[in-house]
Amino acid sequence: MSQQRLIRLSTQHPTSAVYVLGTEISIDIYGSAPKDAMWFDARGSPGIDVYIVHTPQPMQMPTSEPRWPLGAEAEVVVTMGRPSDDVGDHKVRILYYGKDVQTPLQKTMLYLTCVEVSLEADTTRSGTVQKKATDKRNWTWGPGGQGAILLVNCDRDEPTSETMDNEDNSVQTCKDLRDMSLMVLRTRGPAAVFANHKLVLHVSGSDADKVGVFYAHSNELVEQHTHVLGPEKLFYVVEHACGEEEHTFYVEGLAFPDADFSGLVSFHTTMLDTSHKSLPETPIFTDTVVFRVAPWIMTPNTLQPLEIYVCSASDNTDFVEAISNLAQKTRCRLTICPELENKGDRWIQDEMEFGYVQAPHKTFPVVFDSPRNRELKDFPIQSILGPDFGYVTREPLNRGISSLDSFGNLEVSPPVKVKGKEYPLGRILIGSSFPRVGGRRMTKVVRDFLYAQRVQAPVELFTDWLSVGHVDEFLSFVPAHDRQGFRLLLASPSACYKLLKEKQEEGHGKAQMFEGQEKVPKKTIEEILADETLRKENDYFQSCIDWNRDILKQELGLSPKDIIDIPQLFNMKDKQAEAYFPDMVNMIVLGKDLGIPKPFGPIINGQCCLEKKVRSLLEPLGLTCTFINDYFTYHKLLGEVHCGTNVLRKPFSFKWWHVIP
pLDDT digits (tens, 9 = 90+) for 161-192: 889 999 988 898 889 999 999 999 999 989 88
pLDDT band at 60 (very low <50, low <70, confident <90, very high): low
The single residue of 369, 472, 565, 630 carrying the catalytic annotation is 472
- Residues near 100 by Cβ (< 8 Å), separated by ≥ 6? none
pLDDT digits (tens, 9 = 90+) for 140-168: 999 999 999 999 999 999 988 889 999 98
For residue 58, pLDDT over 70 is answered with: no
For residue 54, pLDDT over 80 is answered with: no
Active site residue 155: no
562 near 533, Cβ under 8 Å?
Answer: no
**Rounded to 5 degrees, what angle do the CA atoms 550, 617, 354 make?**
65
604/340 Cα distance (integer angstroms): 42
Q: Which of 354, 349, 306, 253 is nearest to 643 (CA)?
A: 349
For residue 542, pLDDT over 90 is answered with: yes
Strand 90-97, strand 39-44: pairing: antiparallel
> What pLDDT, on a 0 to 100 scale, did the predictor assign at position 398?
76
> What pLDDT, on a 0 to 100 scale, did the predictor assign at position 335?
98
The single residue of 470, 508, 635, 642 carrying the catalytic annotation is 470
For residue 62, pLDDT over 50 is answered with: no
Q: Is the peptide bond before 143 cis (omega within 30 degrees of 0)?
A: no
32/96 Cα distance (integer angstroms): 9
pLDDT band at 279 (very low <50, low <70, confident <90, very high): confident
The single residue of 155, 207, 350, 369 carrying the catalytic annotation is 350
Active site residue 544: no
pLDDT band at 240 (very low <50, low <70, confident <90, very high): low
pLDDT digits (tens, 9 = 90+) for 195-213: 888 999 999 999 999 999 9
DSSP letters along 592-657, please? Answer: TEEEEE-----EETTEEHHHHHHHHHHGGGT-EEEEE--TTTTGGGT--TTTTEEEEEPPPSS-GG
Active site residue 350: yes
Beta bridge partners of residue 102, listed in sequence order: none
pLDDT digits (tens, 9 = 90+) for 333-373: 999 999 999 999 999 999 999 999 999 999 999 999 999 99
pLDDT band at 193 (very low <50, low <70, confident <90, very high): confident
For residue 455, pLDDT over 90 is answered with: yes
**314: number of Cβ within 10 Å:** 8
Please, what sign has the CA dihedral across residues 174, 178, 180, 182? positive
pLDDT band at 135 (very low <50, low <70, confident <90, very high): confident
pLDDT digits (tens, 9 = 90+) for 580-637: 999 999 999 999 999 999 999 999 999 999 999 999 999 999 999 999 999 999 999 9
Burial 20-35 (b: 16+ CB within 10 A, else e): bbbbbbebebeebbee
356/364 Cα distance (integer angstroms): 6
- Residues near 72 by Cβ (< 8 Å), separated by ≥ 6? none
366 near 355, Cβ under 8 Å?
Answer: yes
pLDDT band at 70 (very low <50, low <70, confident <90, very high): confident
Strand 576-579, strand 570-573: pairing: antiparallel
> What pLDDT, on a 0 to 100 scale, did the predictor assign at position 397?
84
E strand map for 350-470: 352-359, 362-369, 390-393, 410-412, 416-418, 421-423, 428-432, 459-462
Q: Which of 130-134, 185-189, 226-230, 614-618 has the lowest mean pLDDT?
A: 130-134
From the number of C-beta atoms within 10 Å of its C-beta (0-12, 13-18, 19+), residue 561 rates as exposed
Reported pTM: 0.93
408/630 Cα distance (integer angstroms): 17
pLDDT band at 243 (very low <50, low <70, confident <90, very high): low
Strand 39-44, strand 48-53: pairing: unpaired
Q: Which of 100-104, 339-343, 386-390, 584-588 has the lowest mean pLDDT?
A: 100-104
- Residues near 25 by Cβ (< 8 Å), separated by ≥ 6? 4, 5, 6, 7, 17, 19, 77, 78, 79, 112
E strand map for 33-97: 39-44, 48-53, 59-60, 68-69, 75-80, 90-97
Give percent of the chain with pLDDT exceeding 90. Answer: 77
608-617: long-range contacts, CB 8 A cutoff, minimum separation 24 = 609/499, 609/503, 609/508, 609/511, 610/496, 610/499, 610/567, 610/581, 610/584, 613/499, 613/567, 614/566, 614/567, 614/584, 617/564, 617/566
101/277 Cα distance (integer angstroms): 42
pLDDT digits (tens, 9 = 90+) for 456-509: 999 999 999 999 999 999 999 999 999 899 999 999 999 999 999 999 999 999
For residue 99, pLDDT over 90 is answered with: no
Domains of the chain in start order, with CATH, are: 4-115 (2.60.40.1860), 122-293 (2.60.40.1700), 297-655 (3.75.10.10)
Active site residue 54: no
pLDDT band at 438 (very low <50, low <70, confident <90, very high): confident
Mean pLDDT of the chain: 93
Q: Which of 162-166, 302-306, 474-478, 555-559 has the lowest mean pLDDT?
A: 162-166
SS3 562: helix
Helix axis angle, 493-503 to 532-556, nearest 10°? 130
> What pLDDT, on a 0 to 100 scale, did the predictor assign at position 1?
53
